[in-house]
Structure formats: C-alpha cells, structure tokens
Structure 1
Amino acid sequence: MKAISTTYDVAIIGGGASGLAAALSCARAGGRPVVLERDVEAGLSILATGNGRCNLSNARIDPERYRHPDVAQAVFGEEPERELAAFFLSTGIVTCEVEGRLYPFSKRAESVRDALLRACEREGARILPCCDIQKATRTRGVWELAALLPRRTPRGKRDADAKANLRARRRELADAERIEHRIAARSVIIACGGTSRETAALFGLPHLAEHPVLCPLSCSLPDQPGALKALDGLRVDAKLTLYRGGAGVWSEAGEVLFRPYGISGIAAFNLSRRARPGDAIEIDPFYPLTPQELSDVFSKRSLALGAGPDSGPSWFDGFLARPIASVLSQAKARSLRLQVEGTADERSAQVRRGGIPFDAVELPDLRVRPDLAPQVLACGEALDMDADCGGYNLAWAWASGLRAGAAALA
C-alpha cells in the first residue's frame, strides 16, 4: 500500500509532559504541530507521577537541585514560577501547594493529563498515537519521518477497567499489521523521555548512556549482617548524610523506609542521584536535636530510668522504635552507618539520567547545533537533565517543552 503523507510545521517525537507542553507552545505561537506518540495514547507517563497525585512543580524552582544548574538557570529564566503558573492556568489546571510542592487541586494525575489533551485539542495540536518512527531524512529544508502505524486502531476491552483496557490495547498494538506513514515537518522536537537513544541515532546525535536515578539505595551494615532485614518496613524521620572519602558531600532530612536491601523514601531517592558504591550514609534518627540537646535528653532519661543507654534497647522505649534501638545498642552508637552498594528496585525509578548531552544543544532555546542536525530541538528527559524529588523534574519537562515549542518556529 502506498504510504500516506502529511505535512506539519513541527513534528514532536514523544507525547509525555514535555512533548505536550511543546505542542501547546508551538500551536499558540501560530504553528501547526503534530505529536508522534509510540504508545496507544499520549500523556500516559504523567499518570504515574507523584504516586498518581502528580507533583506538578515546586513553589520555588532552585537550579541547584538540577544536574546542570547553569543549564537549568538558562532555560528556566528569571521567573520560572510565574511562567509555569500561567501555563497551568491556560490549560485549566488549578494548583495547590503542599509543603512547597505544587499539585493539581484534584490531587489526581489523570485530571492533569485530561486537561493537557483537551488543551491540545482546542489549540489544534494534532496527536498521532501508535506511531513508531523508523527513519528521518532531510530534503530541501524539510524533515521527512517514515513511521509505522497500525492499520486498525487498537480498541481493547470496552467493558474492562481503565488499566485492563490499556493492557489489552497495548497487546493489540504489538500484534497489529502496520502501514507506512510519511510525516514532513520543517522542524522536529525530540521529546521521547528517558529512552532517547534510538531517536537520537535517527538524527545522528550524540547520546549519553541512560540509567535510573531517584530510586531506593542498596546498602549494608558491615558490622551487623542481617540488621537491615530486622528493620524491614520501619519508617523513621532522620537526617541522612552522604560521605565520600571521609568528607560529607550531601545531607538531607526526611522519612527513611528501611528495606532488607537498604533504604527507600524521598531523602534516599535524592541521595541516589549522588551516591556511588563505596560511599557511606549516616542515618541520624535523633535529628533535629543538636548534640548538646541530645546529651541533655540522655542525661535526664538516665536519671529518670535509673540506667543509661548502654543498658539495652528497652532503655529507648518511648523515644525510639525498638528495632532501630536494638541496632544502635549493639553498635554502641547514636547513628547508623551504612555502606552504599548501588541502586535498587530500578524498575520503580522516577527518572533516568543520560540522554542528549548539552554540548550538542544551544541555550536557552534547546536547539541542536546546526552542524549536527539543523532544525532539530530537544526537551524534557530526552536531554541529560535530572533533578531531586519535589516537582523539579516535571517543572523541567514543562519549561523545556515550552521553550523548545516556541523556538521550533524560528
């Protein structure tokens, strides 16, 4: 069958957060964009953000929270909070702040996705799902993308719940007969998230190997084998300090969830961006007491109980959970010292590090250097950018997508 051909101003490869933001930015600047999404629908990656609540952004965008602070500063500009607030408002998303983090008022990720898709519909940004890009060639100033699409749209199981229906549609897509579709565009935006290697290769772009970050840490207690298993499931508010070569390199307080293999929780996720095998992590369960305040508490407890902390884990009853008190008592210490072995449970990682390096793009518009690939831009996780938990990664997706979408028409 002869290939179908359609022409657009901008073709956006990837329909996640950054891709949808790019499409809206482009359409509002007067362009005709198309979003080319490999999955059966666009925006599905948004549904998993913030444990389904969608931590949209942070009330204060701090460039130092990003892997490349200077790049983040250049792309975000001087007032990123105001720009993102205007973007959310323009799509109909009402936000609320919870401890410095921005969420949709609904606290539901699907409402964010639905609002973005409806905004794209209103602005005339076309979304083409089930689109698998096979080849990219440039002729007479226009990119031509050869894509495979299913002959029939996957329908799934209409009477099934949303998740079952999605699984069924994906199975149909995997087995579907495909036809070729040629898409011509003056500019291309790469917005395919943390799996951008194949797409970068289509355009001959350099690419840094991707690996998961923002995930649990695999650790050990060398002096107490099996201690972590005894702590499994325990949640403790503590201060975590990362040590390398005996020097502290990062510290953050938060809830720590002990697992048999190590530690989890937001503070541990943030440490996963910085920790290396062989590093040490000190967990201080007495935070935020100062050393002097803690000494005073210990003295008063010893007087009241008629014994000291060396008398056993029961001395800590009413102060610390018994499992962690047992570990501290055995170590005769006031903090735990774990050794980092690596990351763990990487399938649950919230973001991937790596992608198109920034020496291949021009700031602040995120345009790929013309000598590498003319009229190609990149945004979101397709670039080598990641950040701490707290809405920073989605903030980057929105802001970089908006920046690239507007610049693609220049």
Structure 2
Amino acid sequence: HGVRSLLLTSRRGTHAPGATELATELKELGARVEIVACDVTDRSALAELLAAHPDLTAVIHTAGVVRDGTIGSLTPEAIDALRAPKADAARHLHELTAELDLDVQAFVLYSSAAGVLGGAGQGAYAAANAALDALAAERRAQGLPGTSLAWGLWAPEAGGMGAGIEQADIERMARSGVRPLAVSEGLALLDAAVATDHALLVPTGLDLPTLARTAGAQIPPLFAQLVRPVAVRRSAAGAGAPGGQELAQRLAGLAGPDRQRLVLDVVNRHVAAVLGAVGGPGSGAPEITPDKPFKELGFDSLTAVELRNGLGAEAGVRLPATLVFDYPTPAELAGFLLRQLVPEDPAEGGDAAYEETVRASLRAIPLARLRDAGLLDALLELAGHRPATTGSPLTADDPAGEAGAIVDDIDDMDAESLISMALEGSDF
C-alpha cells in the first residue's frame, strides 16, 4: 500500500521477543522502522510519544491479553487487566489523536468475535472488546475514520493471542463449524475491511456445511441466515444419525430394555464424538462405560455444552445447559433422555412412581388450602375421621395430630382413588 514509515510500540519495545528480527526484515523490504517501548494504557506516556510523531497518518491498535475465567473467579483486578490494554488504550488513542490534530486517515481496532458471539470463560474479555466496537461506531458518528475488526481465531502458526491454543480446542471448534484463519486470509480480510464504510466487521473462518450439519436446532441465531434452510432442517437430525421424530418413533416400537439400550448407544456415540474417542484401542481415548462419571472422562463446561447441543439436535428436544452435571453418567443421561422422548405411561409399569408423585403433592398442600378449596372434609370422611370444624385441632400448628393420621391413611390409597376423591365436588 506504499506505507514506508512504521512506528511500532509495545510495553517492552525492542526487548519484546522477535522485535529486532522483525525490524530487520521490514528494513530489508524498504521500510523505515522505529520500535519504541510505550505502555499505551499510560495516557501521559502515549501523549508524549504521539507529540513526537506529528506526521502520524494511521493507527492500528492490536494490543490485548488472554486471561479467561468464569464469572465466579472474576475480580476487579482481573477485569482491569483485560480492559486496560484493549479499551482504555483505544480510548487514549482516540482522544489524543483528536487533540493533537493528527491527520489520521485510518483508525483500526483489533477486537474479538468474543464481544459479538460471546465465549465460555470470556465474559470480561468480551466486554473489553465490545467497548472497542462501540468506540469505532462513536468515531464514525463524529465523522472520523474508525473500523473495529472482531477477529475470529487465527491459526496458531500466525502467532499472537491464538499461538498457545491447544489442538483439542481447535478440533472442538472445527466440529461446530468454526475454523482458524490462515495468515494470508487474515491479511486479505484486513485489506478488505479498511476499504469499507462499516464501523464493525467480524472476520472469522466458518465452515458452513459443517455448521449446518452439526449445529442443527442449536445453530447460533447470528449464523442462521448464513446456512440454507434445507441444510438447517437436515442438520437437526444430526450427522448420519436418526434424529428428532424418527428417533422417537424407533423408540416407540421397542420394548423397555431395547429402548434403554438404543438411547444409551446414542449417548455413548455423542460422548465419543465430543471427546474425539474414535481412534480405537491404543488411541489414548478414555473408555466410556455406562456408570463412569463424565468428569472422569475429561468433560468440562465447553464439552458439556457440545454434548448437550449434539444430543438435542439428534433427539429433537431442548435440553438444559446443566445436562451433564444433573445426570453425571452416560446411564443417567440416557435415562433422562429416554423419559423426554417416551414419557413413562402409568399403565405400563410406572404406577409406583406415579402414585408417589401424587402422594408427595398432597403432602405438600397446606391444610388451610385444602379447607378453603372445600376438599378437607372429603379427605377426612374418606380416611374415617370426623370433618374439621371451627376450633378443631386439625391445624398447621398441630402437624403431629389428626393431620398425620390422615396422611397415613392416604398412603393406603391408590393414585386413582386419591385423584377421584380430591376432585369430587370441586371446581377443579
């Protein structure tokens, strides 16, 4: 682009890893390079640096730190450490370049897709990057140049903030349709972005066929319009597996043990896919057994969400975010999923659980509510006790009196009798 004069700053300046080699390479290409140590979160130091370079015509702000943490672990200090190099430094650059009346023709902020899409463990980081997006919009409203690029992940070999990401994390993202950007792609997107009139752009690598195939009903709303509707409908069934209504129909045609076996197979298949346990013996993948806790299999909050999404897409049901923690083994999870797909019929072996539910519900009703509803006398008569009258000891203050006797007698009744008795003569 004809740029020949570069001012590069970082906290350590020439002492930053690779700084000297970078300067040498750029000079060999014909550039004039100056590397200066400057903490851009220090407004006074930054003002002094900018005053010494009145010919500045472009700003590209790429600073940032990685410090992921869940909400419970966030402290004011942790939030400040993430906010300062991103948001505070960008605000200083914005204000100082305006005050010094520099001829800034490009003002580019390196933001993150975390501020647009969110990210597990990245609440504070997302907020800091969203502040950059807002600053670019503010500058545009003032008639100033401003572009915030909410980058997705760059390939680890590109260096930068994605350099230390684990291969397992890259593979997990790839299964959900998100891929790292190669260096050449990132640079091309930077060129294209600066040439637009948009304050915010989200340059990120997406594998749309995979996104459609694996996300299914859980496809992020921001991505939904990027995938053809037919692909979204097909993806709800999961990759190469019976899904939604078809799975429920298969279960309806099976006996109890066969139902449990089929659902457990579905759960185990998704667990294996999430953990990458497809290499067979000797692959180092954990052995999946019905009663082995997910925590021992290596599940964390991200893999738990991925399992929930995959199972929900194949089964065609909405599952809770806490699925893996509420049902901590494959067997327990399969039992829960089976109940969602084929609700237990009281006439088919579920009488005990059904009656216990009814009894527990009746025990939980205060006597005053039974009296107000006109049901208490019927209960007493059915249980062989005298009806409650004014001044009767049958009150909430006497739980060990006749009320306890009523509950004992109720325990001898079946569920149908309880319901018929309770509803007789009532408006319910």
Higher RCO (C-alpha under 8 Å, 6+ residues apart) = 1
Q: 1 or 2, which has the higher strand percentage?
A: 1
Shorter-chain TM-score bucket reads under 0.3
Q: 1 or 2, which has the higher helix percentage?
A: 2
User: TM-score normalised to the size of structure 1?
Assistant: 0.24
Structure with max Cα Rg: 2
